[in-house]
Amino acid sequence: MQVPPFSLTEQLDALGEQLDAAVLQVLRSGQYIGGGVIAAFEQAFAKAVGTPHAVGCNSGTDALILALRGLGIGPGDEVITCSFSFFATAEAISAVGATPVFVDVEESSYLINLEQLEAAITPATKVLLPVHLFGRPVDMEQVCAIAERHRLKVVEDCAQASGASWAGRPVGSWGDVGCFSFFPTKNLGGAGDGGAVTCRDDALAQRMRELAVHGMPRRYLHTELGYNSRLDAIQAAVLNVKLPHLERWIELRRSIAARYRSQLDTANTIHLPEAGPDGHSWNQFVVRVPACSPAPACNQSCTPSSDSASFGLPEACCRDWLKQQLQEAGVTTIIYYPIPIHRQPAYAHLGYAPGSLPVTERLCAEVLSLPIFPELSSVQQQQVIEVLQNLCGAAASRATAAVAA
């Protein structure tokens, strides 16, 4: 049996009729831009996040750009974030003319290292931009305390964390702005691109709303240069159908993660992710496969990867070998992310040398995301567990034999 890393088929089977009706209603209404369907989604999403405002936009990337522009961030300003994230986190900072400043992450949580975050603050720093990576919430009490001490703004990258919460309070409600993506593989996905910003401040919400429509407070009056970044009515219609199911879907993700954690016995050849806080929304289940020592998962039969050499990264041979073996057994996995942002060619001008963010660089060589989505069946998951366990067990006993010999 094939086990995909992600699938929308089951969701479509369950909600297909409702989705058909919602989309057809938009098509028949003739109102494809703006209108009540979008307002209804914005209200429902704001309620779910627990902020007075949610403003729909074109994508998670645009949500980050609107947040930074809304806060008046531009050339000469520094925004501190992590390099272990999707490229868009940094790209948005650069898009507004500001400079991304990267700090390392913690190996245990994969999340931004808050000591290094505070240590990186300079007089040019304006914004702290934590990423709730893989759906695991950053400690927002600490981030907000640091921001308060240094009078900085906080923008949360919640793209992978719709429905996640820290200390019982949803992500996106802690910082000055929360930035969400409705890309199809996120916890709450539309039928294409989409995003939203959430915030408490009335004026900031209004400014971001205007920026998303050409800096236009009223028709054909343009008070600043903005963007064309609206949430489509069809996307809002799809999201209106899906939002009421988000909590249940996250519960399903949590039980899948718990099952992986309790049933996978990999003889320590790979490391499982921590359980994390209660509010973890498990957008991804990411294991680490260290390269050939101490227990050689691949029995040293693997070949060095080209990314390691090209981007000055640690050796990823065992991870890449395991990914290949899983694929041959029908289990498709994904690497989020093979090359850290600070080592991307597009950021060569920032001058981060190999080894400058050692934990991030090692994680990029070790991480592997196992299949996880709400409808992943127990039969499918059992297959992943058995295949992985056999590979790890075989590798471990070969390693023991090698040591004994």
Ligand X SMILES: *Cc1c(COP(=O)(O)O)cnc(C)c1O
Q: Which is nearer to ligand X, 60 or 226 (CB)?
A: 60
Contacts of 47 (CB under 8 A, 6+ apart): none
Straight-line distance from the first to the last Cα atom of the chain, in angstroms, rounded to the nearest whole number: 38
**Segment interacting with ligand X, rule: CB under 6 A, options 32-40, 45-53, 83-91, 222-230:** 83-91
**Segment interacting with ligand X, rule: CB under 6 A, options 54-62, 225-233, 301-309, 320-328:** 54-62
Nearest Cα to Cα of residue 88 among 37, 157, 30: 157
CB of 158 to ligand X, least distance (A): 8
Q: Is residue 360 close enough to count as binding ligand X by CB under 6 A? A: no
**Segment interacting with ligand X, rule: CB under 6 A, options 56-64, 71-79, 141-149, 207-215:** 56-64
CB of 42 to ligand X, least distance (A): 17
Q: Which is nearer to ligand X, 181 or 380 (CB)?
A: 181
CB burial class (10 A; 0-12, 13-18, 19+) of residue 219?
A: exposed
**Segment interacting with ligand X, rule: CB under 6 A, options 55-63, 66-74, 199-207, 369-377:** 55-63
Q: Is residue 160 close enough to count as binding ligand X by CB under 6 A? A: yes
CB of 392 to ligand X, least distance (A): 28
Q: Is residue 131 close enough to count as binding ligand X by CB under 6 A? A: yes
Residues in the interface with ligand X (CB under 6 A) total 15
The answer to whether the beta carbons of residues 132 and 168 sit under 8 Å apart is no
Nearest Cα to Cα of residue 157 among 129, 189, 176: 129
Site string for ligand X, 237-266 (x = CB under 6 A): ------------------------------
Q: Is residue 198 close enough to count as binding ligand X by CB under 6 A? A: no
Quickly list DSSP for 339-393.
S-GGGSGGGGGG---TTSSHHHHHHHHHEEEEP--TT--HHHHHHHHHHHHHHHH
Dist CA 266 CA 259 (whole Å): 14
Q: Which of 51, 59, 83, 381 binds ligand X (CB under 6 A)?
A: 59
The answer to whether the beta carbons of residues 347 and 400 sit under 8 Å apart is no
**Segment interacting with ligand X, rule: CB under 6 A, options 155-163, 198-206, 307-315, 354-362:** 155-163
The answer to whether the beta carbons of residues 219 and 264 sit under 8 Å apart is no
- Pseudo-torsion of CA 260, 261, 264, 270, nearest 10°? 110
Q: Is residue 276 close enough to count as binding ligand X by CB under 6 A? A: no
Nearest Cα to Cα of residue 78 among 30, 136, 125, 23: 125
Q: Is residue 157 close enough to count as binding ligand X by CB under 6 A? A: yes
C-alpha atoms less than 13 angstroms from C-alpha of 184 in its C-beta half-sphere:
8
The answer to whether the beta carbons of residues 31 and 13 sit under 8 Å apart is no
CB of 280 to ligand X, least distance (A): 15
CB of 104 to ligand X, least distance (A): 17
Site string for ligand X, 85-124 (x = CB under 6 A): xx-xx-----------------------------------
Three-class SS state of 146: helix
Q: Which of 60, 137, 163, 374 binds ligand X (CB under 6 A)?
A: 60
**Segment interacting with ligand X, rule: CB under 6 A, options 57-65, 229-237, 291-299, 322-330:** 57-65
Q: Is residue 166 close enough to count as binding ligand X by CB under 6 A? A: no
Residue tagged 């000591």 (tokens): 115
List of residues contacting ligand X (CB under 6 A): 59-61, 85-86, 88-89, 131, 157, 159-160, 181, 183, 193, 195
